[in-house]
Structures are given as structure tokens and as C-alpha cells.
Structure 1
Amino acid sequence: MALQKHLLNDADTLVVDSLTGLCAVNNQLTFDPPNKVVYRSNLDRSKVALICGGGSGHEPSHAGFVGEGMLSAAVCGNVFASPTPTQVRRGIDLVENDAGTLILVKNYTGDILNFGLAAEQYAAEQAGKSDKVKFIVVGDDVAVGRTQGGMVGRRGLAGVVLVYKIAGALAAQGASLDEVFNVAQWVAGRIGTIGVGLEHCHVPGTAAPASSLSPTEIEIGLGIHNESGNKRLSPIPPLSELIPLLLDYITLTTDAERGFLPFKHDGKDEVVVLVNNLGGMSELEIGGVVRATREELSQRQIGVSRMLAGTFMTSLNMPGFSLSLVLLPRADDTAAPKQSNILSLLDAPAQTPGWKWTAAAPPITPTPLAPVATASAVKRASGAQVAAPDPAAFLDALQRACKALVAAESEITRMDTIAGDGDCGLTLKAGAQGVMKEIDAQNITGKDLVGDIVAIAKIAQNDMGGTSGALYSIFFSALAQGLQAAAGGKPATASPELWGEALVAARTKLYTYTRARPPSRTLVDPLAAFVDAYSGGLAGAVKAATAAAEHTRDVDAKAGRSAYVDAEVLSREKVPDPGAWGVKTILEAL
């Protein structure tokens, strides 16, 4: 379900509150609250003015792009609702100038009618300036095909921000109204955008949406006003499969419904790429989308002249992103602006909070990093080998433990969302999968337990990471040392006595790196209980560890992830420590 909780004073005043806050951030701006118009205070009235606008809920668009080098004013409606002609007319009046005004709107009926009516009223009342107002409608959505779109055409999505930027930079240079209009119109016709979402958004002050996506679904082609897309996919594909599908919507010329841009696919196409956060995606994920997009375009031999990424046009809190491509002109296209001019306008500075930093150059091909050492690359310990009595049984037990951790991931993650930071289950799963991979590759065999345990320690270090990974890696590294010492440097078969000595040594070494001592509500509780009881037999030791893990439900957190969690929450939820539960899961499976 879409997130339905919001932090605000009142849904009815949210837009005005937000725009007032924007003007506090950007002191270039002045705000007309009754008409919800944000405009530049220090407007140079010898240059062309640019007005945009539409419904709110797409921040930073539209008002976040008002400032030197970009827009002159933005007229804002309520959430997802077009402003009225009266509001728009007020915006036109506030930026009235000698050079003329260009109005830029996205292709939505309400925006076109209300902004258009205001422009026509201005022209009728200011007869001498009727030629000083021009109007451009930007429609860049490629999800809606020609047949479905019919006379209405393509919806306006994040690509319009690139038109704002290029037209605004040209106007700042002192170009005429006709020059700004012609370049903006050309750019608007060369943009394709496609969006994808994990869920729809929720409008503050409204009822919950009637429908939502399942946990395994994504929707392609959805609009920025909660309009449904044209395709749902389940299960959610990896980016390596999703990005090619999205780029097909924009670049394929064989699709009669969606071949809006004249790509030639001859290795000479050049594009500007905009990866736009629709409001609810993490920067971490957006970075992954950028990488996948760049690699796929390289595979298609489409050159990337500029790569932009960030939050430009949202759909409130929608967890999703959109891809926009501007197909740049070629050198032999005499009817188009020069590519160098388009890029220089895109690169020109803009003093607005909404415009993100961009590199004024094509992205470089990153130098491949040296691979992280895997368990198979780890140098085996020198000295005599310690073998398992039955290597096959040892591997079976190890695989059982790994599979148990993978199966328990969701439950451990649930525990950790209450008692920690929510990543414990995934961390343990990653370690378990790393161990199984090395078993499959025959890099862990049971014939050299010291080498096997060192390999497991490396997996904990590299695949798990974080605090748990470090603790496991220290413990297993010390366990390998303990086995060597217990065997006296001679070839040996691991006996319960050898394991017992090694376990005590490993616990002692671990204690030098952590202050946690039982009972502390950490993974140390069941681990220490297991080591203490091991001399009485494996079954009894596992029983003791299980009891210690269960007991963490009632223990005050003295260390670890839970030490920062409200004690009342832990007491009320009665959830065990996730790390302790992971140790219990491993030992019971063994």
C-alpha cells in the first residue's frame, strides 16, 4: 500500500506552507500567497521571461526551478490540480517585460486550458503586446501510444524540466522571444520519457487509494498524477532486465505506436539522459539505475553526452523513477540548433534549489576496480592440516546451517526492524549464500578445516560486512587459529576435544574486540552459552544456546543494535535479539 502518513499542519494549507518555506531557502524569490505565484524579485525586464506551472505535488517542480538562469515565475495549483486562469494571469502580470513571455506547460488538459485562457485574456487586454506572449505544450511520455493518445497526445513528464533549463539559459543570454521559443519547441519534440513505480502515491488529506500493487509487482508507464500505467510485471525484474525494456519504449523506431524520436541506431546517436526520482526512491537505488542505464546505452552504441540524476519532478512520495532521453541533433541537421549550443545551455549555471549539480561533460568510463578477494582466492594456512572425521557429513551440516539462515531471513529481518536497523536477516543470508557458493565451487571441502574456516571468515568479512560480519569474521579467524594450536601443528582429525579447545580460544579472542558479555541481548549470549556447555556434548550445548537466544526477549540491551532502541518497545514486543536468533538458527541446523 502507498504510504498514507504525512507531516504537515493542514492539508488545505500545505501548498502555501511549502512555497513559503521555499522562499525562505531562496531569497531571490517573492511569493504571492493568494495566487500561489512564486516569482523572481530581481527580474531583468529587458530579457524574455519564462513562466511554468501546474498542480503541486511534483516538487521541486515547478517553483523550485524559479531563479536566475532558469524560470521567472511558477504558478502553482493545489495538489495535482491546475491553477485557475486568474492565478496564471497574475503570474503573467508579475513578470511583464519588454522582451516577451514564454509560457511552458505540460500536456494536461487543465493546464493547457487555464494557462491558455490567461494568455489569451492578456493578449486581448494588451493589444499592443499580443505578440509578446508565446505558448509551448510539452508532452514527452512514451508509454501512451499514438492510437490511445489520439488527438490528446503524449502526457508531460519529467522531460519538461530539460526544456525549462535550456530555454531559461537562452533567455538569460538575452535571446529574443522567437529564438527562445524555437529552441524550446525543438527540444520539446526530441524528448522521450518512461516511468516505473513500485507503488502509487497518496495525496495528503484524501482517502486511501482503491488499488495498489502487490509486493512482487511493478508498474510501467504510470503518470505523475497516480494514473495507471500500461503494464505490470511480476516478479520485479533486476535492473539488468528492466532498463533495456524501458529504453525500448523510448528508442525503438520499429514500434509504430511509440517511435516518437528519430533514432537511427547507426552508432552515431547522441543523447542527454535524465534519471529522475519520482519521490520515494533512495539515492542508493537511483545510483544503481544510473549505472544500469549508462551500461545499456553503451551496449546499444548510443552516446551519452550528459548524464543527470536526482529529484526533478516527483509524484509526491511515489517509490519509482523515470528515464528521459533528449535525442541531440547531428552535425548535418541544418534545421536544428547546434548540438554544442544545446549542451552549453544545459551546462550553464542556474541559481535555483531544484536544479541539481551536473557535470559539464560526458560521463567517463570508470576504471574497473580490483575484485575483492573471495574465499577461493584466500591463501590456505601453512602448517599441518586438520581434517573432519567425515568431510561429507561436515559439508552436509554446513549446508544445512546455510539453508536454515536463508529460510529464516524474513523472520530475522522482521525482528531487526523492531530491535535494530532492519538488515540482520539480509546480512546473514548474504553470508550463508557466500558459503554455499564456495562449497559448490569445491573451495570448502572438510578436508582442511583450518583453511575452510579461514575461508568462511573471509566470506563474513566481505559478503556480510557491518558489525555482525566483523564479529563472525573475528570469531572464525580465531577458531581456525585455535584448531591449529590444539592440533600442535601436526596432521590431525578434528575431535570433540580439539573443537572444545578451539571454541574456548575463539571466544576469548572475540572478547578482546567486544565489550558484550552475557546476558547482553547480543549474539554473544547464545555463542557463549554454546561454548560453556560444549564439554557436555553437542546436543546439550545447542540446547543451552537456544535457551540463551530465547532469553534475550527478557534481557535489557547492554550492547549491540538494541542498545539504541526504546526499552519500552523491546519490552512490549518481546522480540528476541536478531543476531542471537541467527546464532541459534545456525547451531540448531548443525
Structure 2
Amino acid sequence: MSTQSKHFLNTPESLVVDSLHGLCAVNPQVALDVDNKILFIKNHDQQKVSLMCGGGSGHEPAHSGYVGEGMLTAAVCGSIFASPNASQVRRGIDLIDSEKGTVIIVKNYTGDILNFGLAKEQYAANHPAKAEKLRFVIVGDDVAVGRSQGSIVGRRGLAGTVLVYKIAGAFAQQGADLNAVDAISQWAAENVVTIGSSLGHTHVPGTAPLQSNLADSELEIGMGIHNESGNKRESPLPSLSALVSKLLDYLTSSSDPDRNFLTFKGGDSVVLMVNNLGGVSVLELGGVVAETQKQLEARGFNIARVLSGTFMTSLNMPGFSLTLLLLPREGESNAFSASQILSLLDAKPRVPGWPWAHDSPPLPFKAQQVEGAKDEDSQVEITQIKAVDSTKFTSGIKRATEALIANEAEITRMDSIAGDGDCGLTLKAGAQAVLSLIKEGRINGDNIISSLIAVSQVAEEAMGGTSGALYSIFFSGLAQGFQFQSIQSGSTATLEQWKTALGLALDKLFRYTRARPPSRTLVDPLAAFINAINLNSPNTFADAVTAAANAAEETKKLDAKAGRSAYVEGDALREQQVADPGAWGVKTILESLGL
């Protein structure tokens, strides 16, 4: 699987500073030490404990996106995936020096610990009166790295580190003293676990284009946030349900003593954080949240809060991580209570990186779902009109749906050039739904109007989008066209009645779309068919189908005036002789009906 190797930047060397300048524009309470790449609160409160973090860039919004009132006082940034040096960190300590002291929080990476630790010791040596006012907290929450593998260096710091920032920052904002802020930081670091999964590695700006060593059918579990390989690969790609189950096993299982860093019990209260590593769509991330909630509840956990969003990335890595914060148990001797931890998480910081989060537990997974609304239309009496040949009517519709399904790939190919690539799939979804209704007997030639209404509903619900709306309006209009003619219930529809209904349906469609032939849309063949078979025309059904097919072919030569093709450069479409995919779908339907 190739990865994205193109970036929006001036130069790779200026990218970090340029990004920090952008944060200053977003958050006017902060200032930037350009030479040392330090983002800090300009007028930090001397009567409150300062919090510093930092490390390599490329993990945004960590760390700089959390600088501001209620969270961090400063972030010291290195180059992408590289720790800042000790002199940068010393400058940062000096910039946020507070009468109440400073807590430094770093992820468990050798470079970060060495450079931040060296800076702390050097600063303490140069300012002995302030030595006791500097505290150092290391976060290593990665359960992919077991005790034997971690050996001396220990576990890596991942997205759970952000929860430490949040809890400690809110506590400092409340006025807690240095010992208390240090203690709650250490508590949070000791009670958080994280595991990540990704479909590929990520490209570092300024380096040679990267080809991932993961095949298209592979994903990796336990991948680090600096392109470090994980500890396990899965192929073929598992379902989300299977993947989440494996990740939760890593986080909560006590059967593997090498990774049993936290002992979870039935009924434990946890905070769930689902983190986008940079390249996962919001749509997919929502699915991850839902699946994880469902499985945690099934395992007997009480989910006190759900946090979802982009907390700590690896540039644009196509992956996500799951973090669990184990809340204090009731009755256990502990300096902090679950309610206190939750109140600190719920506090709203004035920082750009912390996403919106609700200050209450989620509804149980099953309780989120509501019953579907009753179909009021089912109570309406519909005039029954028969086809001349009921079997031929039904088989014709069946052939048309099968043709759409068979031609999905070609229509999708056309739409990948001329639109957004979903037309074939949309028509296939509608066709499959119609086939299901035919098998159920809900679409048949014994009741044309109810069959047309059923097709209209399928277009609305199974297809969706622009095509779905257009088809739904047309078939609804066609049903109304028969009803408008006040045809006696139980009679057989004549050719003249079909022609009248088709004309009325086209008029209905024209009320809601500006497309008129020639427009390079599905309207072109549809209008050609209906106009060719109007009441005053001697044309046969076959003649009208030919007219529609010709109109669809002509779309290869047209500039688009409506639809998504209007945004595609016209010469490119003509040069490639690409027909409009929507028009081709109408052609496919009409040629397959055989009525």
C-alpha cells in the first residue's frame, strides 16, 4: 500500500515553525519563541503550577495544540519525530518559570527523556533555589510493548499521554500545589493504557517517497507513532468487530503477564479515548467508537466518558488507537476519587487541540437506538391497476435490475472520470433492493401503482444522493400520473395511459431539476424516451428505447451543464469519450426492460 508522499508546505525545514505561527493566530493567548520552537502562554499565572511538555513534531495537536489556559503552559517542539535539544528545553523552563513550580511531562522515548531530563538537571544546577520546584513525569502507556520486549527502556508513550496533560492541567488551573499536580500526573500515567493499529506507515516531509511494507490486505497492531513497526500483522484485513476485540484483549486481558500492566475487574469504570492517528475519516472513526463501546459494555465495563477525535497523530498515518483510563474504584484507598478525575476531564480548557466532549456517560449502546417510525403511507388505500401481462411486467423489471448490477463496474469507471465515482454502486444498491421486493412479491404486475411507489421508496432509501432523489421523484410522479387519470380500480393499464403517466412524471421531475436536454445527465435519455413515445407519436417502445440509447451515446460529446460532471474539465471528458454514467444507467434500464 503506497502512502501519501505529497504535502502542503513552503519547505520541509520551515514546516514546524510555520505550523506554530498558525497556532498563534488561532490562539492569541500564546506566543512563540521561534529560535527554540517553544509555544507558551505569554502571561501565565505565577500563582499556579506551570506544565511543560514536548517532543518531536508530527503528532499534532500534541503537543503544541494543548498550550493554553486550563491545560499546558508550554510545549517545546523538535523537528518531525525528533526530540528538541536540552538548550531548547532549558529556555522553555525559563519562559514559564512559576513561583509555584513546574511539572514536566514527557512520553517515554529515549530522546525525550534524555533531553528534557538533562535540561531539568542543568536548570536545577544553575538555579539551586528552584531545584525542588521542578518535577518530572514519564508516560509509557503502550501495551503492545511487553515487559520482556521493553526490558530496560519500558513502554512507549502514546495518546494516553494527552489524558495526563488534561487532568494535570485542569488541576493546576484550579490552584492545586506542586505536590498535588505532580501526584495526580503520576497517578494518571500509572492508570492509562493504549494500543494502536494502522493500515500503513506515514511519510515524513522532506524524505524520499515512502512505500509501506504493508500489503493491501494487511494491517499492523501495535505500530508506534514514529513509524516503528508493530508486534503483529493481520491478513486478510479483519472486520472492525474482530479488530476491536483483539485490541481490547491487549488492553484488558490478565492472561498475558507480559502485558498485564493494569488489572481490570468486572464492573470497573473507565474513560474511553478513541484517537485518530491522522489519516482516518471521521466517518470511520465514528464506527470505531460505536464498536468499542458495544464491546466494552459486553465485557462488563462501565464507560464513564467517551472521548473521540484527533489527540495524538503520526502525521497522516491511516490508523487509530484505543486508550482506557482506569478510574479509582469505590472503597479503595486512593488520594483521588473517580468523581474528581472526571471533573478534571470535564473542565473546558481554552486550547485549540482539545475536542468537544460531553460531561456525562454515554447512553448504553442498545438504548441509543429508537424504533423506526411507522409508515403512515401503508394505511392509504391505493388504486389497483394491472399490467397487460403481469409476468412480462415483473420479469422486465427484474432484467433491468440484473443489468444494472452486471454493469456496475463500467458505470463506476465512467463516474470515476466524470463524477465522484459512486454512480455504479448507487444504481447497484437500488437494483438489489428492487430485486428483494420482487422476491417478496411487493413489486408485481397486478398492482402497477403500488409497485411504482415501492420503487420510488427504494430509490429514496437504498440509493440516496442526487440519483436516488431523481429516480424517486420520477417514479413517484409516474404513480401520480396514473392516479391523476382517475383510472377505475381493477382495470388494465393501456398504452395511452402509460404515455400520459410518463409525460406527467417527466413534468414532475423538471420541477425539481434545472437539467434539460442536452445536459449530459440522466435527463437526456429519459426525456428522449418519453418524448419519442408521447401520445401523438406513432413510435413503438423499441423506437423510444433507440432514441434514449442515442441520447446516452451523445453525452460523450457534450459539455456538462448540470450534475457533478459540470465541475470536470469538458475537453478531458470529450477526449476520453466518457458517457455520462447516470445517462448510461437509464440506457441500461430501458434496453433491458423488453416490454
TM-score, length basis structure 2: 0.91
Contact 1:386 1:447 in 2 (8 A): yes
**Which residue of structure 1 lines up, in the alignment, with residue 94 of structure 2?**
93
Deviations 1:92-119 (A, max 9, x none): 2222233222211111121122212222
Task: Give the secondary-structure state (helix, strand or coil) at the position aligned to 1:323.
Answer: strand
The 1:170–1:514 alpha-carbon spacing in structure 2 relative to 1, beyond 3 Å, is closer
Contact 1:388 1:449 in 2 (8 A): no
Contact 2:3 2:211 in 1 (8 A): no
Structure 1: how far apart are the matches of 2:240 and 2:380? 37
How many Å apart are 1:487 and its aligned residue?
9.2
Contact 2:394 2:438 in 1 (8 A): yes
Q: Partner amino acid for 1:315?
A: S
Of residues 572, 575, 590, the one that matches 1:587 is 590
Structure 1: how far apart are the matches of 2:263 and 2:545? 67
How many Å apart are 1:73 and its aligned residue?
0.9
Deviations 1:322-372 (A, max 9, x none): 221101111122035211111111122311111122222222355533426
Task: Give the secondary-structure state (helix, strand or coil) at the position aligned to 1:309.
Answer: strand
How many Å apart are 1:380 and its aligned residue?
7.2
Q: Partner amino acid for 2:84?
A: P
Task: Give the secondary-structure state (helix, strand or coil) at the position aligned to 1:205.
Answer: coil
**Which residue of structure 2 lines up, in the alignment, with residue 383 of structure 1?**
383
Deviations 1:192-251 (A, max 9, x none): 212233333222121121325445544332222222333444554444443333222212
The 1:527–1:8 alpha-carbon spacing in structure 2 relative to 1, beyond 3 Å, is same
The 1:261–1:439 alpha-carbon spacing in structure 2 relative to 1, beyond 3 Å, is farther
The 1:524–1:233 alpha-carbon spacing in structure 2 relative to 1, beyond 3 Å, is farther
Q: Partner amino acid for 1:385?
A: I
How many Å apart are 1:53 and its aligned residue?
0.6
For residues 35-50 of structure 1, the aligned pairs below 5 Å read 35-50=36-51
Contact 1:2 1:201 in 2 (8 A): yes
Structure 2: how far apart are the matches of 1:531 and 1:58? 58
**Which residue of structure 1 lines up, in the alignment, with residue 466 of structure 2?**
467
Of residues 557, 560, 566, the one that matches 2:560 is 557
The 1:486–1:219 alpha-carbon spacing in structure 2 relative to 1, beyond 3 Å, is farther
Contact 1:51 1:102 in 2 (8 A): yes
Q: Partner amino acid for 1:203?
A: V
Task: Give the secondary-structure state (helix, strand or coil) at the position aligned to 1:563.
Answer: helix
For residues 14-33 of structure 1, the aligned pairs below 5 Å read 14-33=15-34
The 1:148–1:371 alpha-carbon spacing in structure 2 relative to 1, beyond 3 Å, is same
Structure 2: how far apart are the matches of 1:383 and 1:398? 21
The 1:584–1:242 alpha-carbon spacing in structure 2 relative to 1, beyond 3 Å, is farther
**Which residue of structure 2 lines up, in the alignment, with residue 547 of structure 1?**
550
Which of 166-175 and 504-513 deviates more? 504-513
Q: Partner amino acid for 1:187?
A: A
Structure 1: how far apart are the matches of 2:162 and 2:153? 21
The 1:211–1:279 alpha-carbon spacing in structure 2 relative to 1, beyond 3 Å, is closer
The 1:104–1:388 alpha-carbon spacing in structure 2 relative to 1, beyond 3 Å, is farther
How many Å apart are 1:538 and its aligned residue?
4.4
**Which residue of structure 2 lines up, in the alignment, with residue 344 of structure 1?**
343
**Which residue of structure 1 lines up, in the alignment, with residue 302 of structure 2?**
303
Structure 1: how far apart are the matches of 2:200 and 2:498? 51
For residues 106-145 of structure 1, the aligned pairs below 5 Å read 106-145=107-146
**Which residue of structure 1 lines up, in the alignment, with residue 256 of structure 2?**
255
For residues 567-582 of structure 1, the aligned pairs below 5 Å read 567-582=570-585
Which of 357-366 and 155-164 deviates more? 357-366
Q: Partner amino acid for 2:116?
A: F
Q: Report the identity percentage.
A: 58
Structure 2: how far apart are the matches of 1:214 and 1:585? 37
**Which residue of structure 2 lines up, in the alignment, with residue 361 of structure 1?**
360
Structure 2: how far apart are the matches of 1:452 and 1:234? 45
Contact 2:382 2:449 in 1 (8 A): no
Deviations 1:268-320 (A, max 9, x none): 21111112222222333323332332222222221111111122111112233
How many Å apart are 1:263 and its aligned residue?
0.9
Structure 2: how far apart are the matches of 1:361 and 1:149? 36
The 1:414–1:246 alpha-carbon spacing in structure 2 relative to 1, beyond 3 Å, is farther
For residues 82-231 of structure 1, the aligned pairs below 5 Å read 82-231=83-232
**Which residue of structure 2 lines up, in the alignment, with residue 58 of structure 1?**
59
Structure 2: 5+ residue runs without aligned partners? none
How many Å apart are 1:468 and its aligned residue?
1.4
Contact 1:388 1:448 in 2 (8 A): no
Structure 2: how far apart are the matches of 1:66 and 1:286? 25
How many Å apart are 1:32 and its aligned residue?
1.0
How many Å apart are 1:52 and its aligned residue?
0.6
How many Å apart are 1:15 and its aligned residue?
0.4
Structure 1: how far apart are the matches of 2:477 and 2:228? 58
**Which residue of structure 2 lines up, in the alignment, with residue 527 of structure 1?**
526
Structure 2: how far apart are the matches of 1:488 and 1:296? 56
How many Å apart are 1:585 and its aligned residue?
2.9
Contact 2:415 2:424 in 1 (8 A): yes
The 1:322–1:30 alpha-carbon spacing in structure 2 relative to 1, beyond 3 Å, is same
Task: Give the secondary-structure state (helix, strand or coil) at the position aligned to 2:52.
Answer: strand
Structure 2: how far apart are the matches of 1:405 and 1:443? 20
**Which residue of structure 1 lines up, in the alignment, with residue 419 of structure 2?**
420
Which of 542-551 and 413-422 deviates more? 413-422
Deviations 1:141-192 (A, max 9, x none): 2223333333332221111000001011112223232222221111112112
For residues 305-324 of structure 1, the aligned pairs below 5 Å read 305-324=304-323
The 1:117–1:572 alpha-carbon spacing in structure 2 relative to 1, beyond 3 Å, is farther
The 1:348–1:538 alpha-carbon spacing in structure 2 relative to 1, beyond 3 Å, is same
Structure 2: how far apart are the matches of 1:589 and 1:234? 41
Task: Give the secondary-structure state (helix, strand or coil) at the position aligned to 1:55.
Answer: strand
Does residue 429 (structure 1) correspond to residue 428 (structure 2)? The answer is yes
Structure 2: how far apart are the matches of 1:465 and 1:503? 22
- CA RMSD between the two structures: 2.7
Contact 1:158 1:313 in 2 (8 A): yes
Structure 2: how far apart are the matches of 1:501 and 1:360? 59
Contact 1:374 1:459 in 2 (8 A): no
Task: Give the secondary-structure state (helix, strand or coil) at the position aligned to 1:529.
Answer: helix
The 1:457–1:16 alpha-carbon spacing in structure 2 relative to 1, beyond 3 Å, is same
Q: Partner amino acid for 2:100?
A: A
Deviations 1:34-86 (A, max 9, x none): 11111111122333221111111111110111111111111101111111112
Structure 1: 5+ residue runs without aligned partners? none
Which of 279-288 and 100-109 deviates more? 279-288
Task: Give the secondary-structure state (helix, strand or coil) at the position aligned to 1:227.
Answer: coil
How many Å apart are 1:17 and its aligned residue?
0.8
TM-score, length basis structure 1: 0.91
The 1:361–1:317 alpha-carbon spacing in structure 2 relative to 1, beyond 3 Å, is same
Aligned length: 586
Task: Give the secondary-structure state (helix, strand or coil) at the position aligned to 2:35.
Answer: helix
Structure 1: how far apart are the matches of 2:130 and 2:177? 15
How many Å apart are 1:499 and its aligned residue?
4.3
Contact 1:386 1:483 in 2 (8 A): no
Structure 2: how far apart are the matches of 1:161 and 1:282? 21
